[in-house]
Chain A
């Protein structure tokens, strides 16, 4: 188990390093810079600003500065929000994104797995049809349509919940979490349903039934592990994507998360902020992938022993 974990941590570190390098150079390749505007500014001012952000240095020096900053946990200054560092901005936006993402993935996992199991155990029962309907709606209708529809109904028509914003405590959470969870509920329930049906047909589940230990134990003790492994494999990367903020959700519901900062930063060529958010996302993705691998290794000895 220790080499198994160590190997994954090392791989994660390498991936993150590659990601940092790649984002740095891809950003430099794009034409224009943070301060190339249509508006004319005097060459002296331009030079001053560039010097302040070290843009006058040779690229390798900028790169070294950037990497050294990352190693110290400093992502540099933002070029768009000049009074703030990238660290400040991420610290301001991340909690919102994390909160929404956390609840969305929790709701999606619990509801999705429950619906999927119910569907697999009572095929063609009403829960199966209900889950199927949720699946079609959740996958076929995009967030930017279902979001405004829900706002129109629950917020404008019924007046139960705020239309958007982040100032109404838990009530601000409900709609974004629901809308974000819905496509994932759909996907997870379908995944759970099909993998459960498949596992229930496996020979070792038949062996378990032959032991006379009862349907509940057969399901929980023997079928569940195999049925959930694919779901866990999906949940890892999906969690990383959800908790680091959905650009669409944060736009539709006017939420101050890092997804919106990212759009803003990309549109304004705010290199440090784009790179910072990319790294945060990459970091979360790597951490969640490692966690996924650990859980799968813990559940499946064959994965664990493979190393």
Chain B
């Protein structure tokens, strides 16, 4: 592919983000909701992104998919499979999204087209990207619906979204996103709509299908139990910035950032597969403002020091671990 930029040459990762920021324009001003995020993801890897509501998780994923609202724009680079997603023209982006890059949306109640049979909605991607005849695509679709345990799949494929419960619709979304066998799946809280008792089951199902096709996953979740169970790595997002990032195992057992520690300290049992929403930390989350020079978490941080007026860069603090905090002395 495009091997002219040195960035690409050096990169063997499936996805690498360099200083990805998302800004929204409004009333002459501009808000930054994702702030210089850099990350890498290897093929087949599962990366968890945690952070409280409003920390920019969804907008980060939308930026990759080219789905930001019309007043939004993304800067930086997002190299996926050798192409910079952020600078691709729509036509080229449309060869990537829905084919090698797909997404499960947060709100299953409204994410499906109410006027189309779900079978057709699933088949559409296969017909468009893989040139399958309609009948074959529909057969594939109903096979996939069966795999996500939708009862009586061939019949269900002929139904409309309003005939399904929220949980069933979320399964439909999962089936739709995985049907095209993407290289990377962006899953935005894929199990929030589900009954707590079956969240784990559906998540495992999603993981199982993804493993078969070698699909890497970015999983946005509020659930640290889920992170512990299925993620290889985890990034903690706060106020649009990555605070800490590393292998799930070591990060969860030994978090360094005060925010990450706060998250874990208030999580009762990490082993439990199911925990409710993220625990609360005193103070209010930073609402996206202009790119602040200070650490966004400082106002709520119990370890605040004068240096926090300048946001520290994300630096390596051990094997594969990165942290953006003044607490940890530079090695």
Inter-chain contacts of B112 with A (CB < 8 A): 204, 207
Candidates A213, A225, A226, A305; contact of B128 at CB < 8 Å: A213
Of A23-31, A263-271, A295-303, the one touching chain B: A295-303
Question: How far, in angstroms, from A202 to B102 measured CA to CA in the complex?
Answer: 18
Question: How far, in angstroms, from A70 to B292 measured CA to CA in the complex?
Answer: 79
Shortest C-beta distance, A198 to chain B (Å), equals 13
Among residues of A, the one whose C-beta sits closest to the C-beta of B93 is A212
Question: How far, in angstroms, from A221 to B123 measured CA to CA in the complex?
Answer: 13
Complex contact A210–B160 (CB within 8 A): no
Shortest C-beta distance, A304 to chain B (Å), equals 9
Inter-chain contacts of A210 with B (CB < 8 A): 65, 67, 97-98, 102-103, 105
What 0/1 readout, one digit per residue, does chain A (263-307) give for beta carbons within 8 Å of chain B?
000000000000000000000000000000000000111100100
Complex contact A302–B162 (CB within 8 A): yes
Candidates B69, B105, B113; contact of A222 at CB < 8 Å: B113
Shortest C-beta distance, A202 to chain B (Å), equals 7
Candidates B90, B93, B115, B173; contact of A300 at CB < 8 Å: B115
Complex contact A214–B115 (CB within 8 A): no
Chain B count of residues within 8 A CB distance of the other chain: 32
Candidates B67, B128, B160; contact of A209 at CB < 8 Å: B67
Among residues of A, the one whose C-beta sits closest to the C-beta of B162 is A302
Q: Beyond A203-B107, A210-B67, A211-B128, is A226–B97 a contact (Cβ under 8 Å)?
A: no
Question: How far, in angstroms, from A207 to B129 measured CA to CA in the complex?
Answer: 16
The majority secondary structure among interface residues of chain A is helix
Candidates A202, A206, A212; contact of B94 at CB < 8 Å: A212
Complex contact A211–B98 (CB within 8 A): yes
Question: How far, in angstroms, from A305 to B160 measured CA to CA in the complex?
Answer: 10
Shortest C-beta distance, A305 to chain B (Å), equals 8
Complex contact A301–B162 (CB within 8 A): yes
Complex contact A204–B97 (CB within 8 A): no
Question: How far, in angstroms, from A222 to B105 measured CA to CA in the complex?
Answer: 17
Among residues of A, the one whose C-beta sits closest to the C-beta of B113 is A204
Inter-chain contacts of B129 with A (CB < 8 A): 212
Most B C-beta atoms less than 10 A away, residue of A201, A212, A221:
A212
Inter-chain contacts of B115 with A (CB < 8 A): 225-226, 299-301
Q: Does B111 contact A (CB under 8 A)?
A: yes
Complex contact B105–A207 (CB within 8 A): yes
Inter-chain contacts of A58 with B (CB < 8 A): none
Question: How far, in angstroms, from A217 to B67 measured CA to CA in the complex?
Answer: 16
Complex contact B114–A204 (CB within 8 A): yes
Sample 16 A-B pairs with CB under 8 A, ordered by A number.
A203-B110, A203-B111, A204-B113, A206-B105, A208-B113, A209-B66, A209-B67, A209-B97, A211-B124, A212-B93, A212-B96, A217-B128, A221-B124, A301-B114, A301-B115, A302-B162
Residues of A within 8 A of B (CB): 201-204, 206-215, 217, 221-222, 225-226, 299-302, 305
Q: Which 6 A-B pairs have the closest CB atoms?
A: A212-B98, A211-B98, A203-B110, A212-B94, A301-B160, A212-B97
Residues of B within 8 A of A (CB): 65-67, 69, 90-91, 93-99, 102-103, 105, 107, 110-116, 124-125, 128-129, 160, 162-163, 173
